C-alpha cells in the first residue's frame, strides 16, 4: 500500500492567507513603480518631441523671438501653434476653445490639491503619443516666451501637476527648459516640487533630471 501525502484544508487556507497578505503589501509598491517608470519615459519622449518641433520650426521660420508675438493673449498663442503644429503631428487639434474638453481635461488640480482651470488664451492639441498639450505664447518684461503644459495621459485622470501634468517654457537665450530648472530662480524644483504639499509646478525638471518621482513619497 502506497501512502499519498497532501496538504490539509487548514494548511491550504493558511498558505493562501499568507500569499494574500504579501500581495496586499507589495502590490501598491509594484503599481507605483510601474506608473513612475511609465511617467518618466513618457515625459522624456514628449520633451524630445517639443524640442525637435521648436528646432525644426526655428530652422524654417526663424527663432520664436521673430514670430511677431505680442502680449499674453490668444493671438500670440495661435501664432505659436501655427508655427509648431507642422512639426508636432497632432492627433487632434482643438484650437483655443476645446469646449468639449476632447484635448485637455478642464478638471485639474495642483499637487497640494488646489483646483485650477486652464487659460482661455491657450491653444490645445492632442499628440500622437496620447499626451495633451497646451501652447501659450507672448511677450513679457524679460522677452518673448513660449509656455507648454503637458498632460502625459491626455484627459485621463489624475490630471494633477507633478503626477501627470508637467510644464516647459521657452525663453530667449535659454531655449526650452523644464519647469523647476534652477536657471529659473522663481520656479525652482527645490521650492515647487519638494513634497506633496508643493504646487507641483517645478516637477518636470525633477523627473527629467533624477529619473524618478520620489517627491510623491514626501509630505
Residue with cell 488646489: 114
The whole-angstrom separation of Cα 10 and Cα 12 is 5
- Tens-place pLDDT, residues 108-143: 999 999 998 767 789 999 999 999 999 999 887 778
Per-residue pLDDT band for 162 (boundaries 50, 70, 90) equals: very high
Cα maximum dimension of the chain? 95
Average pLDDT, the chain: 87
Residue 11 cell numbers, joined:
494548511
- Give the helix/strand (H/E) hosting 12: helix 9-61
| 3-class state of residue 117 by DSSP | coil
Judge whether residue 7 has pLDDT over 70: no
pLDDT reported for residue 155: 92
Contact call for residues 208 and 43 (beta carbons, < 8 A): yes
Tally Cβ neighbours within 10 Å of residue 4.
4
- The b/e string for 90-108 (b: 16+ C-beta within 10 A; e otherwise) is beeebebebeeeebbbeeb
The whole-angstrom separation of Cα 70 and Cα 191 is 30
* pTM of the predicted protein model: 0.85
The whole-angstrom separation of Cα 74 and Cα 119 is 10
* Highest-scoring range by mean pLDDT, 88-97, 178-187, 204-213: 204-213
Judge whether residue 53 has pLDDT over 70: yes
Amino acid at each position: 500500500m502506497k501512502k499519498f501525502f497532501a496538504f490539509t484544508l487548514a494548511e491550504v487556507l493558511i498558505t493562501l492567507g499568507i500569499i494574500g497578505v504579501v500581495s496586499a503589501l507589495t502590490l501598491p509598491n509594484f503599481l507605483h513603480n510601474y506608473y513612475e517608470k511609465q511617467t518618466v519615459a513618457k515625459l522624456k519622449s514628449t520633451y524630445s518631441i517639443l524640442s525637435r518641433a521648436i528646432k525644426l520650426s526655428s530652422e524654417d521660420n526663424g527663432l520664436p523671438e521673430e514670430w511677431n508675438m505680442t502680449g499674453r493673449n490668444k493671438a500670440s498663442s495661435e501664432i505659436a501653434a501655427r508655427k509648431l503644429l507642422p512639426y508636432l503631428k497632432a492627433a487632434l487639434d482643438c484650437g483655443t476653445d476645446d469646449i468639449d474638453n476632447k484635448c485637455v481635461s478642464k478638471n485639474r488640480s495642483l499637487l497640494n490639491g488646489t483646483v485650477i482651470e486652464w487659460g482661455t488664451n491657450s491653444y490645445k492639441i492632442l499628440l500622437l503619443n496620447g499626451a495633451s498639450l497646451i501652447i501659450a505664447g507672448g511677450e513679457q518684461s524679460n522677452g518673448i516666451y513660449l509656455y507648454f503644459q503637458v498632460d502625459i495621459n491626455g484627459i485621463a485622470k489624475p490630471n494633477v501637476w507633478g503626477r501627470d501634468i508637467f510644464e516647459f517654457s521657452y525663453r530667449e537665450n535659454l531655449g526650452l527648459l523644464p519647469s523647476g530648472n534652477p536657471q529659473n530662480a522663481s520656479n525652482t524644483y527645490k521650492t515647487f516640487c519638494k513634497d506633496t504639499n508643493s504646487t507641483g509646478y517645478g516637477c518636470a525638471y525633477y523627473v527629467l533630471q533624477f529619473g524618478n518621482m520620489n517627491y510623491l513619497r514626501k509630505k
